[in-house]
């Protein structure tokens, strides 16, 4: 197999079986194991009212995690619905114990990112979050959900197309806002009076509303509030229900007249005006917390004044205050963030600690194994405080590798003979200097003999440099596929010269070559371009029309090429002159990634899971895993856009939502190969 510079860009993955949250017996054989990288985006938090140590969290892709030790450790429970693009907006644990022998009933509301006006709903779990069922609002983008304290059978859902109410615990729903009303739509927040379930407050993308008769009549309540305020959250004072707090894009407001008149609360600066959650401390009612897009704020005087108590770069999506066994004064503060994951404070925000053990939900953009030392692994993350992390011990522990980036984001990482290289989102390449322990701008790109960019690294410094999509390296010739064409380096990446293969600067998505750089195969504009003389002459080739066009390619042996295409994987066994679609077990779905190892080929298919072949593509089997405590598997598919492998076939698989996994693949394939190819693939941990 040819030497790769793009080990960070290929890999497959099956998925860890769902760990049963409350099971006491351990899973039999842990075939897949996490390679660390805990944390992720948290969108919703909930506390079991009967067990203060039991917490739940919801993510941006429908997954529900649980903790039985007040957030010290987490386990994946299940998927709220079947859509992995569903954002969990609210979680509610029913306060009633229907049967002490059964697990909690949980309600979850969701909306779908790709189809915000059509996707989502309200889902119910009767077994503590492990399995979920629809509750009758399928297809409604539900942004808010509330349960009435005075009547727990009553649930209110605020959706983009109106407010809906259920008076039978979610069994049935009725709209309580006029259909098609130009103002009573795009609901973002809800609150129900604790003493009267007919009094409902609802915030829209444009100002708040109120009903005192269960939705028969609605009145606008925005006196004192800046017009055109997106009401992001609503909260009622537990000691005085006439006092209502509203956070909006224009700031935080308080009303002492049940919404009759609002007063803007000063103290939180304009830049932090997007307050996504307001919570009152039940142990100290005068204490309020506000989670904003610029950190966590605290008020000790019922909202009259505020002070930020967290770093300014925290984006706080959810807040939870739970009884604190370690302190009789302040409640335990559990914070759900966008990048730090779960953060906990036991002293009112004086000190914080991460609480992400078992919460594996990072988005891994790329992963690479050091070509000089297989124990060294690097990964690029998109939803973490650290853009690039590195492990020196095969994924057991990780440290940040961001020094020198200056805020510039990284889209991919590669291993070369002289160390780590990175493709920057703004364009160009950077190389990690091991001696200085920092990233340095590297690779002078030349178009027609002229330099195209500066040498420093900063978010704007890539202006003029091509965005690098793929890199190939060998001992003598390096090639980069960029949005401005194909570039070649003969001095190990120090300078790059344009290698013309067609008119203009056609974008190149993928490139592979022979070790001496003489034979080149690339993907451009969904077609393929070949050269057999180091780029002096070129010929264009197309996949069959039904392929939808090529996306990226891989090379195996002397004459076998695999191409990831829009409608599947295509193979050529004659150096790319004739092509056929791989159909022996592979679905006709968009192929995301390919990894070709001696004796093992892997293909990651969009929304269809991972597939493996031991016979060079003659047959494929879906990779499965049932190493769970109860044999259960969640629905949906985890996608793995980042793959890398050691020579021993230890596979590092970076997922689009569930962090990084390490797999000794031989154990999994022997099990997967016995499965029928039509069986559904698993998802989760």
pLDDT digits (tens, 9 = 90+) for 532-546: 999 999 999 999 999
* pLDDT for 635 beyond 50: no
DSSP 20: P
Other beta carbons within 10 Å of 397: 11
Q: Please give the angle made by the CA atoms of 326, 332 and 338, to the nearest 5 degrees.
A: 140
Choose the weakest-confidence range: 178-192, 198-212, 429-443, 596-610.
596-610
Name the token pair of 259.
Answer: 């919404």
pTM of the model: 0.83
Per-residue pLDDT at 100: 63
pLDDT over 90 percentage in the chain: 58
> How remote is the C-alpha of 468 from its chain's centroid?
23
Q: CB–CB of 487/467 below 8 Å? A: no
Name the token pair of 585.
Answer: 């077990």
* pLDDT for 16 beyond 50: no
- 345-351, Cβ contacts within 8 angstroms, sequence gap of 24 or more: 348/287, 348/298, 349/289, 349/296, 349/298, 349/309, 349/310, 350/309
* pLDDT for 381 beyond 50: yes
Q: Is 603 left (phi over 0), alpha (psi -120 to 50) or beta?
A: beta
Residues 411-436 pLDDT 10s: 999 999 889 999 999 999 999 999 99
Choose the weakest-confidence range: 3-17, 113-127, 193-207, 351-365.
3-17
Mean pLDDT over residues 128-133, rounded? 92
Name the token pair of 681.
Answer: 């693939």
SS (H, E, C) 296-323: EEEECCCCCCCEECCCCCCCEEEEEEEC
Strands, E, within 35-161: which ranges?
A: 39-40, 44-47, 55-58, 63-67, 75-79, 86-93, 106-112, 120-125, 133-134, 142-147, 155-159
Half-sphere exposure of 334 (CA within 13 A, CB side): 26
39-40 and 360-361 beta bridge pairing? parallel
How distant, in Å, are the alpha carbons of 231, 509, 524, 553, 658 from that of 469? 41, 6, 11, 12, 24
Per-residue pLDDT at 101: 65
Mean pLDDT over residues 180-188, rounded? 93
* pLDDT for 386 beyond 70: yes
Residues 37-83 pLDDT 10s: 899 999 999 999 988 899 999 999 899 999 999 999 999 999 998 77
3-state helix, strand, coil in the chain (%, to 5): 0, 40, 55
Domains and CATH numbers, the chain: 39-271 (2.130.10.10), 362-672 (2.130.10.10)
Other beta carbons within 10 Å of 456: 12
Mean pLDDT over residues 489-514, rounded? 91
* pLDDT for 453 beyond 80: no
Choose the weakest-confidence range: 200-214, 262-276, 562-576.
262-276
Average pLDDT, the chain: 84
More confident residue, 190 or 477: 190
Residues 644-670 pLDDT 10s: 887 667 889 888 888 888 877 654 444
Q: How confident is the model at residue 1 (pLDDT cuts 50, 70, 90)?
A: very low
Mean pLDDT over residues 132-160, rounded? 94
Residue 324 CA to residue 331 CA, distance in Å, equals 5
Per-residue pLDDT at 4: 30
174-175 and 187-192 beta bridge pairing? unpaired
Q: Which residues contact 452 (CB under 8 A, 6 or more apart)?
A: 445, 446, 464, 465, 466
Torsion angles phi and psi, residue 672, rounded to 5: -65, -35
Q: Looking at the DSSP assignment, which residues form a beta bridge with residue 76?
A: 65
Residue 476 CA to residue 515 CA, distance in Å, equals 8
Q: How confident is the model at residue 503 (pLDDT cuts 50, 70, 90)?
A: confident
More confident residue, 23 or 318: 318
- 140-143, Cβ contacts within 8 angstroms, sequence gap of 24 or more: 140/164, 141/111, 141/112, 141/115, 141/116, 141/117, 142/89, 142/90, 142/109, 142/110, 142/111, 143/89, 143/109, 143/111, 143/187, 143/188, 143/189
Residue 636 CA to residue 615 CA, distance in Å, equals 28
How distant, in Å, are the alpha carbons of 160, 240, 635 from that of 81? 19, 37, 8
Of the candidates 613, 593, 616, the residue with the CA atom closest to the CA atom of residue 672: 613
How distant, in Å, are the alpha carbons of 56, 508, 583 from that of 543? 48, 16, 15
DSSP 177: S
Torsion of CA 546, 600, 469, 60, to 10 degrees: 90
Per-residue pLDDT at 448: 60
């Amino acid at each position: 197999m040819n030497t790769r510079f793009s080990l960070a860009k290929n890999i497959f993955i099956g998925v860890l079986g769902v760990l049963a949250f409350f099971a006491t017996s351990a899973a039999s054989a842990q075939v897949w194991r996490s390679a660390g990288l805990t944390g992720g985006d948290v969108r919703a938090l909930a506390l079991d009212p009967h067990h203060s140590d039991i917490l739940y969290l919801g993510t941006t892709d429908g997954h529900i995690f649980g903790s039985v030790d007040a957030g010290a450790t987490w386990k994946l429970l299940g998927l709220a619905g079947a859509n992995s693009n569903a954002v969990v907006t609210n979680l509610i644990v029913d306060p009633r114990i229907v049967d002490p022998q059964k697990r909690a009933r949980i309600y979850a509301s969701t909306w779908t990112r790709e189809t915000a006006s059509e996707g989502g709903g309200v889902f119910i779990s009767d077994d503590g979050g492990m399995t979920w069922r629809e509750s009758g609002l399928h297809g409604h983008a539900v942004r808010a959900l509330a349960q009435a304290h005075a009547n727990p059978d009553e649930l209110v859902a605020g959706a983009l197309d109106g407010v809906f109410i259920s008076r039978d615990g979610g069994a049935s729903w009725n709209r309580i806002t006029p259909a098609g009303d130009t103002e009573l739509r795009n609901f973002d927040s809800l609150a129900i009076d604790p003493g009267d379930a007919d009094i409902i407050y609802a915030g829209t993308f444009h100002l708040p509303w109120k009903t005192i008769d269960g939705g028969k009549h609605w009145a606008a309540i925005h006196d004192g509030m800046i017009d055109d305020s997106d009401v992001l959250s609503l909260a009622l004072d537990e000691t005085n229900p006439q006092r209502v707090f509203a956070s909006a894009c224009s700031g935080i407001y308080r009303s002492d007249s049940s919404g009759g008149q609002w007063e803007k609360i000063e103290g939180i600066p304009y830049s932090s005006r997007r307050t996504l959650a307001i919570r009152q401390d039940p142990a100290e009612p005068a204490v309020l917390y506000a989670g904003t897009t610029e950190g966590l704020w605290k008020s000790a005087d019922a909202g009259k004044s505020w002070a930020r108590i967290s770093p300014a770069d925290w984006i706080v999506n959810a807040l939870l205050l739970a009884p604190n066994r370690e302190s009789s004064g302040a409640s335990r503060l559990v914070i759900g963030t966008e990048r730090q994951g779960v953060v906990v404070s036991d002293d009112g925000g004086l000190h914080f600690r991460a609480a992400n053990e078992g919460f594996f939900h990072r988005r891994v953009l790329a992963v690479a194994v050091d070509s000089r030392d297989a124990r060294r692994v690097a990964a690029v993350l998109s939803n973490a405080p650290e853009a690039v992390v590195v492990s020196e011990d095969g994924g057991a522990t990780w440290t940040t590798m961001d020094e020198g980036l200056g805020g510039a984001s990284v889209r991919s990482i590669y291993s070369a003979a002289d160390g780590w290289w990175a493709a920057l989102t703004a364009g160009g390449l950077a190389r990690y200097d091991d001696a200085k322990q920092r990233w340095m701008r590297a690779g002078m790109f030349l178009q027609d003999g002229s330099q195209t960019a500066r040498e420093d690294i900063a978010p704007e410094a890539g202006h003029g440099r091509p965005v690098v999509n793929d890199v190939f390296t060998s001992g003598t010739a390096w090639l980069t596929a960029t949005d401005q064409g194909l570039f070649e380096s003969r001095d190990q990446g120090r300078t790059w010269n344009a290698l013309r293969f067609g008119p203009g600067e056609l974008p190149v998505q993928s490139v592979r070559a022979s070790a001496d750089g003489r034979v080149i195969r690339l993907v451009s504009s969904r077609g393929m371009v070949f050269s057999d003389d180091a780029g002096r002459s070129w010929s264009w080739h197309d996949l069959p029309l039904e392929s939808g066009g090529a996306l990226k390619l891989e090379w195996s042996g002397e004459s076998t090429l695999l191409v990831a295409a829009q409608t599947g994987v295509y193979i050529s066994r004659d150096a790319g002159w004739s092509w056929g679609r791989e159909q022996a077990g592979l679905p006709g779905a968009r192929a995301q990634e390919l990894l070709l190892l001696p004796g093992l080929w892997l293909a990651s298919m969009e929304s269809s899971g991972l597939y493996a072949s031991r016979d060079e593509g003659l047959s494929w089997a879906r990779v499965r895993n049932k190493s769970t405590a109860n044999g259960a598997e969640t629905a949906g598919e985890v996608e793995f856009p980042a793959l890398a492998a050691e020579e021993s076939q230890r596979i590092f698989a970076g997922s689009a939502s569930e962090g990084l996994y390490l797999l000794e693949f031989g154990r999994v394939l022997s099990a997967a190969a016995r499965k029928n190819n039509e069986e559904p693939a698993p998802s989760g941990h």
